[in-house]
Structure 1
Amino acid sequence: MKKFGLLLAGGIAAVILLSTIGPLVGLAVSLVLLYFIFKQFVKADSTWAKVGLGIIGFVVLMASIHNTPAIIGIAAAYVLYLVYKKWNGTKSTVIKEESDPFANFEKQWNEMKHY
């Protein structure tokens, strides 16, 4: 039953992720453009160049805000990642006592105190 729930959640997340591919690509492109426009804005010396780059940057910022459904796609990708992690049974790494240097230090310290 657990596998069926994971399969259902993964299927729904995959469909949502596939339906938001367009906004994801649009958001990525607009954020890259915004980054380069900002770098040119900082380098610009003249006031008119800064005004022009500011206007272009504002337009690109509005385009990236327009792609807010991409946030749902990012959340769906994260859910898909969690389903994949649970399906394969990978667990978070737990430090074993023999490999933990602090636990080993405590054990050796207690042995030294007895001598």
Structure 2
Amino acid sequence: MKKTGLVLAGVAAAIILLANTGHIIGLAISAVILYFAFKGFMKTDSAGKKVFWAIVGLIALSASAANLPAIFGLAALYVLIKIVRSLKETKQNPKAKTDDPFENFERQWADLTKSK
């Protein structure tokens, strides 16, 4: 039952991620432009170039604000990564998280006898 819920949450996160892929790409491009505008603004001494880089930076900042839904896509990516890791962990070691004391005892006893 837990795996089913995780798979359904993973599918929902994947759909959200795919729906916001364009926003994520737009945010990345506008962030790169904003970075270079800031670097250009800090390097130059000319007042005309400072005004130019400030205008470019404001345009890039506006584009970044327009791509704000990308945050939902990035959050969905984070959730999807966590879900995949959780599913891999349960697949690799399915008996590691049981609450049955007898199974835990059997596993610990096997570990003790291996070390002798």
Q: Normalising to structure 1: TM-score of the pair?
A: 0.76
Alignment partners' CA distance in 2, 1:37 and 1:53 = 5
Secondary structure, aligned partner of 1:18: helix
Give ranges in structure 2 of 5+ residues lacking alignment: 91-116
Could you tell me which residue of structure 2 aligns to residue 89 of structure 1? 89
Alignment partners' CA distance in 1, 2:79 and 2:45 = 46
Give ranges in structure 1 of 5+ residues lacking alignment: 91-115
Could you tell me which residue of structure 2 aligns to residue 33 of structure 1? 33
Alignment partners' CA distance in 1, 2:59 and 2:20 = 22
Alignment partners' CA distance in 1, 2:51 and 2:33 = 17
Letter in 1 for 2:4: F
Alignment partners' CA distance in 1, 2:33 and 2:48 = 20
- Which aligned segments of 4 or more residues in structure 1 are displaced greater than 4 angstroms? none
Could you tell me which residue of structure 2 aligns to residue 60 of structure 1? 60
Could you tell me which residue of structure 2 aligns to residue 23 of structure 1? 23
Superposed CA deviations along residues 48-102 of structure 1, whole A, max 9, x for unmatched, are 1101110111011000110000000000001101101110117xxxxxxxxxxxx
The Cα of 1:12 is off from its aligned counterpart by: 0.1
Secondary structure, aligned partner of 1:45: coil
Cα RMSD, aligned residues only: 0.9
Superposed CA deviations along residues 4-63 of structure 1, whole A, max 9, x for unmatched, are 001000000000000000000000000011101111111111111101110111011000
Could you tell me which residue of structure 2 aligns to residue 71 of structure 1? 71
Alignment partners' CA distance in 2, 1:45 and 1:57 = 17
